[in-house]
Amino acid sequence: MLRTKGLPQLVLLMMLSVVRTGSAQTAAVGPAALAHQCLRGDTVEWCRLALPACKQYVESRAQSPAANPQEPEDDKIWNQMAGCELKLGQYADAAQHYEQTLKLRQKQYPGAHVLLASVHHDLGTAYSAQEKYAEAEAQFRRALSMRQHLLGAEHADTQASLRAMGRSLYLQEKHSEAAPVFEQIRNITERLFGSDDLRTATALREVGMVWSNIEGKRIDAQRVLRRALMIQKVKLGTEHMDLVETMRALAHNLENTSQDSEAESLYRTALTILERVYGPDSKELLPALFELATNLRSQQKYSEAEYIYQRRLKIYSKTVKSPDIRIAMSMRSVALALEL
């Protein structure tokens, strides 16, 4: 069921007509009307209604390219279509259509341009959503280069591309390359917003997560992660959801430096927050349960580890609709705990 509250009635009727009648509507509605419907909005709600119009516009242009040379709206239509597909989780289609947008805009803007940078960034996001991190990195680098030149290093869009590039490096386990990226973000964020701002806490956590994977930097990582957690506790309280990721990052670091007991305490606190937010049987608890169970097993607390493993398996069986490798892994984890 489409949510239609708040949409202008006339526009809604026009867009629903496109959805109902399919490709036959192309003959009845001209490219200008389709373009108007396609570009009306970009929220998820609007995208569900607008995407058919975007696709029909593209189809109508492809059917008679000789009679319809490139229109000024074409790149906007392709970009809108890709953006809607990205919001709706259609990542492969989004990447394909951002590539088409890029071709059109490169003809319009031969040099560096903010609209080109935007498409490079969005294309990187579509690649990243498909776990194509090397391709994503390349696009984020192009976006970053343009934005640094056109907007400056401290602009929000430049920082967004810098952070996205850093994350793509991190997810490729290029930790030595990711570290200076996140260090730069931390320095700029702290200079702009102050040492006790929540945005600074986020930047500190990112630095700590990268440093935790670099030999010789793990103690430094602990220091910045503790500082990030302290800022969050002061600003948000001790039971806020935003603390969970920082707690888990610090706990991972502590385990790597043989401080398993303190790591266990952090895992338990993070799990308690997640239980309060999502409930005791939510699949959102699964990563935290696995981390706690593994920690307990490493401390030879086998009975407690077995209980957590069993609880995790029970949640899997309730929340996963069909058997898959994740359930098999969870069952194997229980078996390992029982063997010890």
The class (CATH top level) of 175-274 is mainly alpha
**Residue type, position 231, single letter:** I
Q: Coil, strand, or helix at residue 29?
A: coil
Return the residue matching tokens 């305490």.
Answer: 265
- What per-residue confidence (pLDDT) applies to 1? 43
* Six token digits for residue 282: 């939510």
Domain ranges of the chain: 175-274, 279-340
**Greater pLDDT, 53 or 125:** 125
- What per-residue confidence (pLDDT) applies to 26? 39
Return the residue matching tokens 């609007």.
Answer: 46
What is the mean pLDDT of the segment spanning 80-107? 95
Q: Which residues make Cβ contacts (< 8 Å) with residue 333, sequence separation at least 6?
A: 290, 293, 309, 312, 313
Distance from C-alpha of 47 to C-alpha of 86, rounded to nearest angstrom = 10
* Six token digits for residue 154: 């401290």
What is the mean pLDDT of the segment spanning 221-241? 96
Provide the whole-model pTM: 0.82
Cβ-based burial of 5 (10 A; exposed 0-12, middle 13-18, buried ≥19): exposed
- What per-residue confidence (pLDDT) applies to 25? 44
Helix or strand (DSSP H, E) at 216: none
Distance from C-alpha of 202 to C-alpha of 206, rounded to nearest angstrom = 6
Interhelix angle 175-193/198-211, rounded to 10 degrees, is 160
* Six token digits for residue 153: 């290093």
Q: Select from 48, 61, 56 the least CA-distant residue to 29.
A: 56
Judge whether 132 and 141 are in contact, CB under 8 Å.
Answer: no
